[in-house]
Structure 1
Amino acid sequence: MEKRELAIITLKKDAGEVYSNQIKYFLGSNININLYSFEEDNLNLLHEKLIVLSVRLKYDEISAMCSNDTQIIIPNLTFEKSSVKKISKLDEHKKVFVYNLSKSMALETITIIHKLGINIQNFIPSYPGADNILPDSIVLSPGEEILIDCHNCKIIDLGYRIIDLGCIADIAIHLDLKHLIREDLLNKFIAKVVPTSYITEKLLLSQTRLENKFDFLLASIDEGLVCISEDKIVQFYSHAAREILDVNENGMTGKYIGDYIKSFDFRQLKKESANIQKVVRVKNIDINLDIRYADICGFRGFIIKLAKFYVSEKKQAKLRAQLMNSGNVSKYNFEDIVGCSESIMESKKIAYKMAQSNSSILIIGESGTGKELFAQSIHSASYRSEGPFVAVNCSTFQEGLLQSELFGYDEGAFTGAKKGGKIGLFEMANKGTIFLDEIGEMDLNSQASLLRVIQERQIRRVGSDKVVDLDIRIVAATNRDLKKLVCEGKFRKDLFYRLNVLPLKVSPLRERVDDLFLIFESFKKNLDANFILSDEVVDIFKRYNWDGNIRELSNLAEYFSYTGKDIIEVSDLPEYILESLEQRDPCEEIAKEEKSYDKFKFKRLISDYIFVLSKMNQAYNLKQRIGRKKIYEYALEEQVFLTEQQIRSILLELQEYELVKVLSGRGGSIVTEKGRSFLKEHGK
């Protein structure tokens, strides 16, 4: 936007600077002010179209230097309240000389003082050459103290006179900047300066209060608003519109709207057909336009509502998530993945490139390495970032229930189905990303259904004959060897290759020790903890295996925060860490035991099978049968980390090797003699 220009002409240079600073106080950097003074003799032909002239007697002289369309404002002047206070303390019966550069200027100063309510009648004008100031007199001077020649006089310098509010308002109106005069600035000015016009002061304050309230309402609306006349000229627009269109404040005012939104032909806009909703592109950003005609309070024109398309879509996604009673949005991006090691930086680099694709991603890594963090970051970096992010843990659903959760169901699809049916997680993730965690735990029937979704990009709710088209991106994760499961017939080969289009490996914490303490410090910061680790503990951290990876590190940081210690010593470490350093890795010991039973090819740690067999053996001794729910209750009591679904998988494996017998219905399960022998040999 072109800056407006203003010329200020005064007798003395210093006075011009005072007036300039006062105008800038209200109008800021939106105006170029050029200073001229008779003292500097720098006056010649003036090009400015608006001039503030402080000396009325010079009007004809200045007018001759200007073009015919130049406007000259002769301001009313006033004093600051501190100066008026000095005058009001004078004895009203004494003679007071008022000194200025000329008789007319001295008389003008006396007139201003009277307007400000000072009742002293014995003001005597004085000026260079008058030689009328008596010894021992009181002399008032508006900034001319150094020129006064008198004997033993009390000189009161009132300072330079100040431009009145009315003049400020005139300048703002002439330059179309009146919107910049804010109520808070007016209040500060009035607190400091005595106004010469009470009516001007009140009108300005009243108008500014209304404008401020209107600005407040506009600022509270996220969408931008632009008001244009019937000839498509911008009348005003909100702060949000300014940011969306990337224009300066008041840069569009008085301009043709088509110069700023060029992708829409505003010439075709008619009031009869002004109910338009359209997506246009402005400066490489998609913008929603909503245009309506308005005829209100004498205004006839168009109201344009603007919103960035991706912002609108994000709001819609959040509303859909609320409607579905879930917070299906991603919370993390790649900046939240802490680490500087070569492996993590490479994984982030590859994952970012994968985010730009729409192909399925398979994230492979041990439990606790942050696979979901990567999944959310991929979603946040993709073009689907404004859509929902739905995370599903496949190991938490029993066989049969997973499909109804993933695909939804119609009313009456099965006993216990909700009235009206239920939307599935795949539908919930439409236009976004679905994250299938622990995909290796999915049963074969669900795998077949998932394969169809990937191939057809359609789902059918349980109990429905209608298909629903989907636009989703699938990100899966596993801590198991899917190739091995494929060879064992426990995971579909065709599904594996459908998911493994873009494989991403996340290294365990023990392989990236460089990241260990960076991540630990981030956990401390989140906990607002101030403890430090002793050198011995730092050394143990470096040597420790971190089987639980980042999740274990997070738990440890929280544990230390509750100790109340400033320095964490070796004695403060949990026992399991110290024990792991004194003997061989317990997992290695278990693995060694498993070697004697290689023929079983167990998928999990042998300790999990020992736990299940021991509980079944206890029931056997009591001549009872036991089901997976009861075993799950024992697991909760003894803090053994097994889900009910995992226990079911273990029972099926044990039955496969004839170590247990799983009965149908609610008959429970019983341990076989072979199982009792196995338990006797390997149980503890």
Structure 2
Amino acid sequence: MERKDLAIITLKKEAGEIYANQIREFLGENIKINLYSYEENNIIYFNERLVILSVRLKYQEIESICSPDTQIIIPKLTFEKSSFNNVSKLEKSQTVYVYNLSRSMALETVDLIHKLGSGISKLIHCYPGFERIPSGSTILTPGEEIFIPIDNCEVIDLGYRIIDLGCIVDIAVKLNLDYLIKEDLLKKFMDKIIPTSYITEKLLVNQTKLENQFDFLLSSIDEGIICVGNDGIVQFYSHVAKDILGLNENEMIGKHIEEYIKTCNFNNIINSETTHFQRLTKVNNIDINLEIKYTNINLFTGYIMKVTKFYQAEKKQAKLRSQLINSGNISKYTFDDIIGESENIQNTKKIAFKMAQSNSSILIMGESGTGKELFAQSIHGSSSRNNGPFVAVNCSTFQDGLLQSELFGYEEGAFTGAKKGGKIGLFELANNGTIFLDEIGEMDLSSQATLLRVIQEKQIRRIGSDKVIDVDIRIIAATNRDLKKLVCENKFRKDLFYRLNVLPLKISPLRERSEDILLIFNSFKNNLDANFKLSDEVMNIFKSYNWEGNIRELRNIAEYCSYLGKNIIEESDLPEYIVESIDSKEECKQLLMKNTQIEIPKFKRSINDYIFVLDKVNKAYTNKERIGRRKIYEVAVSEGRFLTEQQIRSILLELQDYELIKVLSGRGGSIITDKGVYFLEQNK
């Protein structure tokens, strides 16, 4: 350990030795003390880190012969209790003389005796050159030989003054040795001296007791803790950190963190305003898991660093991971795993992140394969519940009645086939965490009613039990169906819909963010460790293809291409269904059209009139134009078809009755339905 140099300058050599012994009681051999005195006439240039000067009047003289970075302390002094007891026996009303080697020193001694509570009202300072002290007087002196005439006087020697406790602590702090100030030493010293400030000394003892308790708590934590200021200077570290980094006691205090963890570019962390940083690094050829977090509390603003030996952290994580994965109660993905640079997906991620900060229910809507569970896990990981469980359940995988037993659990004997001892439900497993209800639109009405009560009461009851269990859960639901339509069809409870739809989140299909397609595809390709490339034609096909299976379908294509064993994937290498659908963005509709024959309704007029009107509505819809009966009438006249405006109105209403078109209110015109498109293609 680096030794600390301290100079003590006194008038008399003996006083300096008393101060030095006192300081060594606390700081031991961790400090080198050099003694100087005017009595020995050895006052020279001082290069020590810290100087203790007992003679206030010599301050400017000593400062002029000190190193520029040397600190000078004028110590506060006090008396030992044993020597000061004689003062308390004196009459408070009598006149007492206080003698020291100079006028200023005598005044300081008088002031100190008053502060220590002597109660003597009349203390007169005296010193060499002072007029004669009256015969029979009482004289107090701090261990000094009296150089003035005295007759029949009582001399009470208080002994040399000693350094006050607050000053010793100040010395330790300035030399970065404050950790050596132990509670037992403080108590021993407090019993010996008269403190100059009772409150200060009491606080020092209490503070040290708290620090020892805090140090005990830190030593029980596996990770090492290092507190680093915004300037990168280490302010504190625990014993565990000392052992992990192989340091001597307090070696790193006051040093820049990069001197000891060289792979930590601390300036980059500060400049990038990083609030959380984690990486695996090496210190002394040992793999260290390093985690840095910014903190701002009452007494500390800076960075808390956690250091753990990698094999210890990995061993602990493996044990926890095995427990969590076995029960499926863990989220694996974060927002960083959601790939995409399009404005669409970036905005969706921003909205989802803001929703994560709330505790309200979230309803994620999107087509199959758009990554709804990926978003759900990311929201959980960014929420205040991220240390709690994440439980996912697909509501479509259970038959009516079985879902409730899965969600809420059951007691032994609750129904035929129930496990012995019963079963805990997923809601109980998710307590203090998040439950993800995927395909919520497939939930049966009975389960919906029970779920609604759970949301309202924040309580569950196992099947077959009369015991109510409190739960604190955040619900994230997801669906690829139109819940509003299901509500209108009485297939989904309206009250439950509005309970779940507090924070709606819409995930766009892949075809609406075509700029992300190749980026996501390359990510899948890299995960497969494949080296093929896509031709320009294939890349254009990917951007125009409908991707009705969304990201799940894209991942399947990436895997398919990886098995072809080709360096460049051409158009001819793609699956047949993709090539066939290149010219159509309505793949499902095309397939339905091929396999479904729509029966011709019993129209009131010739079918040709209906085909004519339907064709005009379809063309307008394709061109994103509005069209009504007057516009259709004008087209009919120009083409020589004899239909009145009233007849066209009747045809439109009839087509709507057969669900081939939809007549909008006001001047919205008419639009063709999917069924109308199929019918037109089959009969045109």
Could you tell me the TM-score, scaled by structure 1's length?
A: 0.45
Is the radius of gyration larger for structure 1 or structure 2? 2
